[in-house]
Chain A
Amino acid sequence: EVQLVESGGGLVKPGGSLRLSCAASGFTLKNYSMNWIRQAPGKGLEWVSSMSPTTDYTYYADSMKGRFIISRDNAKKALYLQMSSLRAEDTAVYFCAREGLGLGSGGLDVWGQGTMVTVSS
Chain B
Amino acid sequence: SYELTQPPSVSVSPGQTARITCSGDALANQYTFWYQQKPGQAPVLMIYKDRERPSGIPERFSGSSSGTTVTLTISGVQAEDEADYYCQSADTSGTYVFGAGTKVTVV
Point out residues on A near B: beta carbons under 8 Å: 35, 37, 44-47, 50, 57, 59-62, 95, 100, 103-109, 111-114
Assess the A45–B35 pair: CB atoms within 8 A: yes
Assess the A44–B86 pair: CB atoms within 8 A: yes
Given A59-B95, A100-B45, A114-B42, are A106 and B88 neighbors across the interface (CB < 8 Å)? yes
Given A105-B90, A106-B89, A111-B43, are A35 and B48 neighbors across the interface (CB < 8 Å)? no
B39 CB to closest chain A CB, in angstroms? 11
Pick the contact of A112: B31, B42, B90, B96 (CB < 8 A).
B42
Taking CB atoms, residues of chain B closer than 8 Å to A44 are 84, 86, 98-101
Can you name the residue of chain B whose Cβ is closest to the Cβ of A99?
A: B96
Query: Which of A46, A61, A104, A109 counts the most chain B CB atoms within 10 A?
Result: A104
Assess the B95–A60 pair: CB atoms within 8 A: yes
Interface residues of B in 4-42 (CB under 8 A from A): 31, 33, 35, 37, 41-42
A69 CB to closest chain B CB, in angstroms? 16
**With the chains together, A72 CA to B98 CA distance in Å?**
23
